[in-house]
Amino acid sequence: MSTVPDDLRYSKEHEWVRLAGDTATIGITHFAQDQLGDVVFVELPKQGSTVRQYASLGVVESVKAASDVYAPLSGEVIERNVKVIESPELVNKSPYQDGWLIKVRLADKGELEKLLSPDDYRSHIGETAPSGG
Amino acid sequence: MKALEPLLFELARPGRSGGHVRADGSAEIPTSFARRAPLRLPELTEPQVVRHYTHLAQLNYAVDTGMYPLGSCTMKYNPKVNDRVAGLFADLHPRQSYRLTQGVLALAYELEQMLVKITGMDFVSLQPAAGAQSEFTALLVFKAYHAKRGQAAQRRRIIVPDSAHGTNPASAAMCGYEVTTVKSDARGNVDLEALRAALGPDVAGFMLTNPNTLGLFEERVREVCDAVHRAGGLVYGDGANMNALLGIARPGDLGFDCVHINVHKTFSTPHGAGGPGAGPLCVKAHLRPFLPKPWIVREADGSYHYDTAREDRDPETVGDSIGTIKQRLGNFGVLARAYTYMKSLGDEGLVETSEDAILAANYLLARLRPTYQVAYDRTPMHEFVLTAAPQKKKGASALDIAKGLIDEGFHPPSVYFPLIVAEAMMVEPTETEPKETLDAFAEAMLRVAERAGTDPESLHQAPLRAPLRRLDEVSAARKPVLKWKLPS
Amino acid sequence: MGRNPYSPHTDEDRREMLATIGTRNIDELITAIPADARRPRIGIGPGLSELEVQRHLEGLAALNVRAGDTAFFIGGPIQRRYIPAAVPVLALRGEFLTAYTPYQPEVSQGTLQAVFEYQSLMAELLAMDVVNSSMYDGGSAVAEAAFMAVRLTGRKKVVVATEVDFTYRRTLRTYARGPEIEIVEVPSAQLAASAAGAACLIAQHPDAFGTLVDVRAIADAAHAAGGLCVQVTEPHACALLEPPGALGADIAVGEGQPLGITMSYGGPHLGIFACREALVRQMPGRIAGQTLDANGTRGFVNTLQTREQHIRREKATSNICTNEALAGITAAVYMSLLGPAGLRAAARSGVARAHALAARLAAIPGCAIANDGPFFDRFTLRTRLGGWALRSALLDRRVQVEATAAHYLDGKRAGRDDVIIQCTELTSDGDADALVDAVSALMRTGAAAMAS
């Protein structure tokens, strides 16, 4: 059973978003890291670059798979998680906390409408019962 | 650190020397160019080197040590006479005059003719060094063909089936094409409707492996080729599975515009721990003008030369050729082995090769079908794909089964390919394994399946009888150590 | 029975197998093939016994004049060098020769450790951080280096020196047709000044004519313009010359055949490919890496595989799958037998012979050494006969040399119709005498012909 915290928003491509003012923290979900297996490499955009909703922002790799991470929202990258680049296993150990990927200054709050609620995401991954964060 | 065999660097002591080559004469290197960086190569005696590599060799599984049913790789026996006769051509440089290499040209010319007959194509380039380089070469030929017709800019997409080898989309991307993937249908064929929907005036070509990577002959191969041709595209035949087709069917009769040959699969040249191979590209006449240069010409008097006016002339100045992909005749040393094999077998031997390859695969499948689930269960050609999905539910994955087979003394099948089959195990026994070996392999597969049902946990520990236990590939990728670190 | 000597099945075996399958014959297994396309006649003739095939191939081989049958000075990327007896004995052992890509590392440690050692030895020789397990040959390595530089910089122009060997440039131009990369060829001396907007500058040192090239200046210019420096090199030269890693090269490539691999009319050989550590994620080809097994024993695996086609498909760094791993192992055996002293000795012998021979040839009236600067183990000889005519005339005297014409796009370049003389430790005094005598005689008769 994958954890799907109730205080986050989600994308169909298995990214999560945590909002604080106009800053969005982005990572990949517990479900995504579980599917991928042990993460061995993370590639993230540079600070100051911009990401576009639904466009690839970077890559997470396991030994036998490479998976694009798609930006759930558009905006400027204000911080990237250097710890996760150094220790990719954080994506597995703590997908919603220490394993976050980038922080983005929102360009368009309207895009939030297109994200999934925790319940929608649970049914998207075929899990109905809320399991909390 | 525990180790099976020390590294060369760990065996070395300063001052040891092999004495193979001594310097004679003095050579002054201008100081500004002379090496100042240290050259810390290991210093060893010949006996040490011999034992080291002998020990390493003994850690390998190989066709010479046992059955190697790696699907899609055609790990058949590699005849020793081929290696010996290849040595007759060792002391020849590709820049020697054609006048001094008539034996090379005669062999290569006849090899081209033999491949024409086997594939039903019209012309051959021997240059590509491997299957993937042949794919790339063919796509360059496609590009040149479309350019000649004023459609290069328009035709920017290559279609591949979802069952394709990874090299197909990779070659297309390398050639500057966009890649569209079409799905397979319920019988393991290309989904013809999906293909038709993907076709259009922007399509340069379609890449198809036949028999496909499920080991199945495309049941509507002519309709597939017709559909591509009607859209103005070309059809590339990935010949990885030609071992099923010698004297059985010719790609040239089925609608393909070209096909490559993996001589290290079909024609028995050794795989060399990952290579070398050779990948001759066989094409229909309409693609010939674009083939790499130079071409071999045979004169009425039985002599041979290259077609360029002067043999060193740059091929790009000649006609519509894409140029040179690999100089002269590619991996000639590999091609000479393949030629020898084909001469040894002749017509009847080649037909028997494919018949026995098909027979062995179907026999093995018949023995395994009651126990393992077949991915697309119809009559396969020379290989078949099982899915370990039922075993996975009991706790043993395809990888666990593979490792269990190692403990049974066999090299495992290809696992996790093709990608369209969950927990795929792709088995290609080849024609050179005797029935008793096929039986022993089948029984090993059945024993491992039994363990998967009763004691999957024990398979997680496998292998226990190999030189090493399972290796930590995660750490290897997270903190790559890609060479011996000299003590600083 | 017995039509394929390597097929083990007796008729009885076949009957039993068909019975188990539940079919009468093979034809019932191939009904998916269109009926009119089934079982075509092949028409290559009957099979031969091993004795017959051996004789047949010996007959073909007898039509060739081997390099060693003549005085031999052809070289460049592919060189006639001494191969110690132990090299083929070890590298061509069946356990290496008949294995395939080490997909199952537990039963492939021989291959994986040997490849890891090859990477380590080559990295030390080139003074580069990372070496892959092999490309097809020097030419494809050059092309892949250019593609890698294009990926890393996002630029689509590559500038290559005209003194880079012609086979490399031809292959590069052919490869570049795919992604439509612009290839600009300029003389080495103008390379540094052509860095603007280039993904990389490609220089060869020593160059195709044997001349030493100032790679540092080229690397500095490439870096200042935001591009990369690709150095094409030769393994023996790296034993005596400052290696690519010390000259500022970001990628080093070349042909590894001189390291104990037979010439075999052009292949199979060894594409050397090395780069700086920071660039490894864009590197093409397989790479072996060190790790531990479940018992804590050191072992080796193929690693960083997400770069490769079997995982990344159209996003892979290259389409390469089958490579030349055995040639890499062969090169490693060669280097471990020779050691640093032996490798330097082999290299030094070629240089010494080339310089001694050049001095003798330069003393012949009508002959001059045409290199633009100091040369290594080959040099360019200019005579008033012209390169192509001299090559042909020497051929009649059983001396083989290479004409420079092939190095120029249209077969010519003003004032540059020469021959190239390559020396190695196999160049004997007798070979040198044969060349000097033949050139002397040709110059005399040539002079007489001109005077008459």
Residues 6+ apart with CB under 8 A from C392: none
Residue A133 has pLDDT above 50, yes or no: no
3 state SS of A56? strand
- Tell if the CB–CB gap between B60 and C109 is shorter than 8 Å: yes
- Tell if the CB–CB gap between B478 and A64 is shorter than 8 Å: no
Instruction: Give the distance from residue C445's alpha carbon to the nearest chain B alpha carbon, in angstroms.
Output: 24
Report yes or no for ipTM above 0.95. Answer: yes
- Tell if the CB–CB gap between A38 and B474 is shorter than 8 Å: yes
pLDDT digits (tens, 9 = 90+) for C62-104: 999 999 999 999 999 999 999 999 999 999 999 999 999 999 9
CA B96 – CA B89 distance, rounded (Å): 13
Any CB–CB contact under 8 A between B478 and chain A? yes
In C197-236, the residues whose Cβ lies within 8 Å of chain B are 212
CA B23 – CA B21 distance, rounded (Å): 7
pLDDT digits (tens, 9 = 90+) for C239-249: 999 999 999 99
Mean pLDDT, residues A19-35 taken together: 95
CA B396 – CA B389 distance, rounded (Å): 9
CA B322 – CA B461 distance, rounded (Å): 52
Share of chain A above pLDDT 70, in %: 95
Any CB–CB contact under 8 A between C323 and chain B? yes
Peptide bond into B161 cis (omega under 30): no
Per-residue DSSP letter, B413: P
Instruction: Give the distance from residue A40's alpha carbon to the nearest chain C alpha carbon, in angstroms.
Output: 9
Any CB–CB contact under 8 A between A56 and chain C? no
Any CB–CB contact under 8 A between B61 and chain A? no
DSSP E strands in B251-399: the ranges are 258-260, 281-283, 296-298, 304-306, 373-374, 384-387
Chains that touch B (3 or more CB pairs under 8 A): A, C
CA C115 – CA C326 distance, rounded (Å): 9
CA dihedral B79, B82, B83, B84 (to 10 degrees): 120
Instruction: Give the distance from residue B486's alpha carbon to the nearest chain C alpha carbon, in angstroms.
Output: 9
Instruction: Give the distance from residue B355's alpha carbon to the nearest chain A alpha carbon, in angstroms.
Output: 36
- Tell if the CB–CB gap between C4 and B65 is shorter than 8 Å: no
In A22-41, the residues whose Cβ lies within 8 Å of chain C are 41
Bridge-based pairing state of the strands A9-10 and C271-275: unpaired
- Tell if the CB–CB gap between A63 and B474 is shorter than 8 Å: yes
Q: Provide the pLDDT confidence category of residue A129 given band limits of 50, 70 and 90.
A: low
Domains of chain A: 9-108 (2.40.50.100)
The pLDDT of residue B191 is 98
**Spatial contact of C340 and B41, defined as CB atoms under 8 Å apart:** yes
Chain B CB contacts of A62 under 8 Å are: 474
Q: Nearest CB to A88: which of B416, B476, B478?
A: B478
Q: Nearest CB to C32: which of B19, B217, B272?
A: B217
The pLDDT of residue C450 is 53
Any CB–CB contact under 8 A between A49 and chain C? no
Residue among B315, B284, B334 nearest B126 (CA): B334
Chain C CB contacts of A66 under 8 Å are: 306, 311-312, 315
Phi-psi domain of C339 (left: phi exceeds 0; alpha: psi -120 through 50; beta: other): left
- Enumerate the H helices of C262-324 as residue ranges: 309-312
CA distances from C90 to B54, B436, C413 (A): 7, 31, 46
Chain C CB contacts of B35 under 8 Å are: 238-243, 246
Share the mean pLDDT of chain A.
93
Q: What is the largest CA-CA distance in chain A?
A: 39
The angle that helices C166-176 and C138-153 make with each other, rounded to 10 degrees, is: 50
CA C205 – CA C213 distance, rounded (Å): 5
Q: Provide the pLDDT confidence category of residue C411 given band limits of 50, 70 and 90.
A: low
pLDDT digits (tens, 9 = 90+) for A44-78: 999 999 999 999 999 999 998 999 999 999 999 99
The least confident of A6-20, B9-23, B384-398 is B9-23
Class of residue C360 by CB neighbours under 10 A (exposed 0-12, middle 13-18, buried 19+): middle
Mean pLDDT, residues C384-412 taken together: 88
The pLDDT of residue C452 is 46
- Enumerate the H helices of C127-202 as residue ranges: 138-153, 166-176, 188-191
Instruction: Give the distance from residue B307's alpha carbon to the nearest chain A alpha carbon, in angstroms.
Output: 46
pLDDT digits (tens, 9 = 90+) for B20-71: 998 777 778 999 999 999 999 999 999 999 999 999 999 999 999 999 999 9
Class of residue B149 by CB neighbours under 10 A (exposed 0-12, middle 13-18, buried 19+): exposed
Residue among C269, C190, C199, C282 nearest C235 (CA): C269
Domains of chain B: 80-339 (3.40.640.10), 348-474 (3.90.1150.10)
Any CB–CB contact under 8 A between C311 and chain B? yes
CA C443 – CA C388 distance, rounded (Å): 15
CA C142 – CA C125 distance, rounded (Å): 18
Residue C372 has pLDDT above 80, yes or no: yes
Identify the closest residue of chain C to A59 by CA–CA distance: C306
C192's tokens = 């540094």
Q: Which residues of C touch A (CB under 8 A)?
A: 281, 305-306, 311-312, 315
Domain C86-333: assigned CATH number: 3.40.640.10
Any CB–CB contact under 8 A between A119 and chain B? no
Q: Nearest CB to C124: which of B39, B272, B463?
A: B39
- Tell if the CB–CB gap between C130 and B334 is shorter than 8 Å: no
B263's tokens = 């001589």
Share the mean pLDDT of chain C.
95
- Tell if the CB–CB gap between A40 and B474 is shorter than 8 Å: yes
Question: Would you tell me how many other CB atoms lie within 10 Å of the CB of residue B31?
Answer: 7
Any CB–CB contact under 8 A between A38 and chain B? yes
The pLDDT of residue B1 is 82
The number of C-beta contacts closer than 8 angstroms across A and B is 15
- Tell if the CB–CB gap between C266 and B327 is shorter than 8 Å: yes
pTM of the model: 0.97
Asked whether this chain's domains C86-333 and C346-451 adopt the same fold, the reply is: no
Any CB–CB contact under 8 A between C42 and chain B? yes
pLDDT digits (tens, 9 = 90+) for C296-311: 999 999 999 999 999 9
Identify the closest residue of chain C to B245 by CA–CA distance: C39
Superfamily the domain C346-451 falls into? Aspartate Aminotransferase, domain 1 (3.90.1150.10)
**Spatial contact of B82 and B268, defined as CB atoms under 8 Å apart:** yes
The pLDDT of residue C1 is 42
Query: Residue ranges per domain, chain C?
Result: 1-40, 86-333, 346-451
CA C239 – CA B40 distance, rounded (Å): 11
pLDDT digits (tens, 9 = 90+) for C145-177: 999 999 999 999 999 999 999 999 999 999 999
- Tell if the CB–CB gap between A41 and B477 is shorter than 8 Å: yes
